[in-house]
Amino acid sequence: MSNDVGQAVLAAEKRRCAAMLSNDAGALEALIDPRLSFSHATGQVDDKPAYLAKMAAGRITYLTIDWRDEQVVILASGVALLTGQMTSNVTVEGIAKWLDNRVLTVWTETDGAWRLTAFQPTPLKL
């Protein structure tokens, strides 16, 4: 992995988590690729407009987000995977949940910025 790419992707993910925690739709919108495929642990999949609408309406509220074991793998120029374990306290449709997932994300670089293009969690049952 190019250290610069890895650091840039990790920094973009950190900004995305901060935007989710503060429910900052503008910041979140800028960090998400228009081609977004966001899979939830339930199996439901949202595109960018659907995901942003859920966040803006408060249907999903993140209280904590923690990453462990992050690894960035460059797939091609401007395309990288970020994998690791993500835990979070979240409220979905008014129901508090504790999520513990292995996560695979795809990041693409366009116009000099890294944006989330795909998110796929796998729930862990420990």
In sign, the C-alpha dihedral spanning 51, 52, 55, 58 is negative
Which pTM value belongs to this model?
Answer: 0.92
| Per-residue pLDDT of the chain in tens (126 residues, 90 and over written 9) | 468 999 999 999 999 999 999 999 899 999 999 999 999 988 999 999 999 999 999 899 999 999 999 999 999 999 999 999 999 999 999 999 999 999 999 999 999 999 999 999 999 975
CATH number at residue 18: 3.10.450.50
What is the domain range of residue 75?
3-123
Which tokens go with 3?
């250290």
- Residue 2 sits at φ, ψ, to 5 deg, of -70, 125
Task: Give the total number of structural domains in the chain.
Answer: 1
H or E segment to which residue 98 belongs: strand 95-110
